[in-house]
Amino acid sequence: MLLLHVAVPSCFLGLILENCELPYSNHGHVILGDPSPILFYPVSTNEIHCFVDVPGQKIPSIANGEMSQYLKTVVAPQSELRAAFICAVDKGSIRTMTNRSMPASPSPTSVALLLGDAFNVQHPLTRGGMIVTL
């Protein structure tokens, strides 16, 4: 039995940038920005997915324009893809996903051995499961 404490340290915002090129085509990019990472990766010949990590449990409001202002003034200046990024923000198709930290605390038992994904091991940036033997 696993005991989980769930914390929400940040939120990922997703945008689709159109008609721009990454510095190294066909490769994903991670910008170690201030205050948090920004991820870019190509999904088609003219589209790039962008994920922005926004720290804190309460993010700026998308509805009243606070998020657009934050993205344009804090995040956009840190990217070579600034023009395409601002264009994507202006389009307004911003998707959000909370990041959760769920470190597992094992409850010792003599009848089970948990490995990898079963022990809630996830990649911190992509949230994908990792197959890891513990």
pTM tops 0.85: no
Separation of alpha carbons 92 and 107, rounded Å? 45
pLDDT score at 89: 94
Let me know if 54 is exposed, middle or buried by CB neighbors in 10 A (0-12, 13-18, 19+): buried
pLDDT score at 134: 44
Mean pLDDT by 10 residues, the chain (134 residues): 66 90 88 88 92 87 91 89 93 83 66 61 55 50
pLDDT score at 102: 65
Separation of alpha carbons 55 and 49, rounded Å? 19
pLDDT score at 9: 78
pLDDT score at 115: 60
Check: CB of residue 131 under 8 Å from CB of residue 117. yes
pLDDT score at 56: 84
pLDDT score at 11: 85
Q: Select from 74, 82, 85 the least CA-distant residue to 35.
A: 74
Separation of alpha carbons 14 and 96, rounded Å? 6
What residue ranges define each of the domains in the chain, with the CATH number in brackets?
A: 2-100 (3.30.9.100)
pLDDT score at 98: 79
Token code pair at residue 107: 């409850």
Check: CB of residue 67 under 8 Å from CB of residue 61. yes
Check: CB of residue 56 under 8 Å from CB of residue 127. no
